[in-house]
Amino acid sequence: MIIRKLTAEDLPAFRDLRIEMCAAHPEAFEQTSDEAAATSDQQLLQWMLPQDVFPEKFILAGLQDNEILGVVGFQRDEHFKLRHRALIWSVYVRPQERGRGICRNLMLQTIEAARTMEGLEFLTLEVSSTQTSAKALYVSLGFKTIGNVWRCYKLSDGSYVDSEDMVLKL
């Protein structure tokens, strides 16, 4: 397996993964799978690649034979008052690849990259209350819960899922 940042050439594979992750875990991601499928190429590229507003942005992926096995998104704002923090988002590993340390490796490399960024003090992420394995990983990496969001997501069946906001001091 190789770990690298996604590029524009990875757009089709990332689109497929995004649809898969939203379908497999509707309780963990903001988009539905239908919304993910309808997302424009331009919007996906804005999520994947550095932009003017988010110059320090990337999606780190674990790949094998050019297939994306898992991803971790990273985004740091350019605004002065927000540059001390960055967001970890869209963490996902394909179910058949779980248990191999892929997510841990992606998170560790993302944290390592963050620690090299001048003025960056901490990372934040949100994890849904149903994602106990993900939360356990984040805790093992040093993340701490700083708050809860009641009924963060409303699912298609009308049920709700809470989430936790977590932070890692760099």
pLDDT tens digits, 89-107? 999 999 999 999 999 999 9
Domains detected in the chain: 2-169 (3.40.630.30)
Residue 36's Cβ-count burial label (10 Å; 0-12, 13-18, 19+) is buried
pLDDT over threshold 80, residue 52: no
pTM: 0.92
Mean pLDDT of the chain: 94
Does the pLDDT of residue 53 top 60, yes or no?
no
CA–CA gap between residue 134 and residue 90 (Å, rounded): 12
